[in-house]
Amino acid sequence: MPKMNKYIFTLLLILIVSITSFAQINDLYNYNYLHKIEAKEHKIDITSNSYYASSSINNGFFNALLTSNYIDNDLKASNNIDDLNYFGSESFSNISYYFVPDSFICCNDFGFKFDLSNVSRINARFTGDLFNLAFYGNKMFAGETADFTNSFFQSLTYQKFSFGLFKQTESKGNKVTYYVGASIINGQENKDISLYKSNLFTEETGEYIDFDMQMRYYYSNEGKTDFLENNGIGGAVNFALIYENIEKNYIINLSVEDIGYIKWNKSAKQTYIDSIFHFEGVEIEDILDYENYSSSEISKDSLMSSIFENTSISSYTKLLNERINISISKNLIPNNLFTTLGLGYLYNSGEPKPVFYTRSNYKYNDKISNYVQVAYGGFTMFQVGLGANVNINHFNLTIASNNIIGLIIPDKTYSQSVFVRLGYLF
């Protein structure tokens, strides 16, 4: 039973994640660069980033899960398991194209932005009892009740095409850039499990268990999960504002992404469970006479059928996770040192708190710069990041991680991230 629970828990954490890393606070959609695009310029950006972050699961333990390595009791105990724990992971890839023509219809200073994106995201909240049941089994709960109430798991994969207009204005030495965009979304896969009042009682001598489950489970077509499979259609709107005060050398950025939804098609399923399951095991009089018991009514199929008997096949609509980011940046040393204070938050994801961060960029020359970043919040705790930027002719390359310490002491850190962007201006 502990082994089976371990596999179930592992599946819930890493389902649909193919890579683990993106930093929660990088500029995914390149809105911070809109004000730098001038008339007659074209720009292409290719971005790949991913992240994993948790309040309790450390990097060493999570890497062992991903690679199916043996997890001993010391590694289990190294986690910082609390009464309520959080987990977030995202894999994101994007290609953007910007263009500012001489004029747009009758108006100047308008630009176009096009994006193609692929997003895979997992968000979860789980109790300490759920973790302990999954990795230690129910022996430790003999005569007690394990509580899973308020746990949830969200897994979402989608692709989107976005189109937007941005306008650049200037007045009295101040520049303002506005962006308004819309997205058409292809829903590839969705799994959404919410455990309401749910607990497991184990009789003290192990003679029986009672599972009191109140749960709702949404899931898209399980037979079509490959890349670009169409299991739903949705839409979203996106906004950004960049204000630049040239005289005082500071910039304010505000962006809101993915205010929208996906309507999953008629092949999707919904399951609602509100029942108590009582299990006393199977009594076998002759262990050598296995075949007489192999078709027992307490089989895996019959158990699953009873749990999922209240399932409907119909379309449903789910809101997207909306991302908001606001920051203020100032030149402390003109043309050399640039410092940013910011806040980011992912709505409808269960993220327990916003991410607060400060980032300092130092420009050595026109070709090379780097940054150091300290962040707190989101799905995890403190993070220290490093990044480097290189300009060669018309190309720009950025490589960064928002938690570089995770590579050095994985058993003491609770997030990993990788961010890569290649840009070409012509």
Separation CA 250–CA 396 (nearest Å): 23
Separation CA 365–CA 314 (nearest Å): 59
pLDDT on residue 29: 64
pLDDT on residue 19: 30
Q: How much of the chain is in helix, strand and coil states, percent to nearest 5? A: 15, 55, 30
**CA quadruple 228, 232, 234, 240: dihedral positive or negative?**
negative
pLDDT on residue 24: 46
What is the crossing angle of helices 128-136 and 2-14, to 10°?
A: 130
Domains of the chain by start residue, with CATH:
2-425 (2.40.160)
pLDDT on residue 208: 87
Radius of gyration of the chain (CA): 25
Count of CB atoms within 10 A of residue 261's CB?
17
User: Nearest CA to 359 among 346, 345, 342?
Assistant: 342
Residues facing residue 384 across a β-bridge: 374
Separation CA 361–CA 331 (nearest Å): 9
pTM, 2 dp: 0.84
pLDDT, tens digit (0-9, with 9 covering 90-100), for 345-378? 999 999 999 999 999 989 999 899 998 999 999 9
Separation CA 291–CA 285 (nearest Å): 12
pLDDT on residue 22: 34
User: pLDDT tens digits for the chain (426 residues)?
Assistant: 444 454 444 444 433 233 333 334 556 667 777 777 777 788 899 999 888 899 999 988 988 888 888 888 999 999 999 999 999 999 999 999 998 887 666 566 788 999 999 999 999 999 999 999 999 988 899 999 999 999 999 999 999 999 999 988 888 878 999 999 999 999 999 999 999 989 999 998 888 889 898 999 999 988 888 899 999 999 999 999 999 998 888 999 999 999 999 999 999 999 998 888 887 765 556 555 555 555 444 455 555 566 667 788 989 999 999 999 999 999 888 878 989 999 999 999 999 999 999 999 899 998 999 989 999 999 998 889 899 999 998 999 999 988 888 777 877 889 988 899 999 988
pLDDT on residue 8: 46
Residue tagged 């010391």 (tokens): 74
Q: Is the separation of the CB atoms in 199 and 221 below 8 Å?
A: no
Side chain identity at residue 127, one-letter code = T
Structure tokens at 302: 């019959």
pLDDT on residue 12: 44
Q: Is the separation of the CB atoms in 92 and 418 below 8 Å?
A: no
Separation CA 199–CA 424 (nearest Å): 55
Residues facing residue 275 across a β-bridge: 213
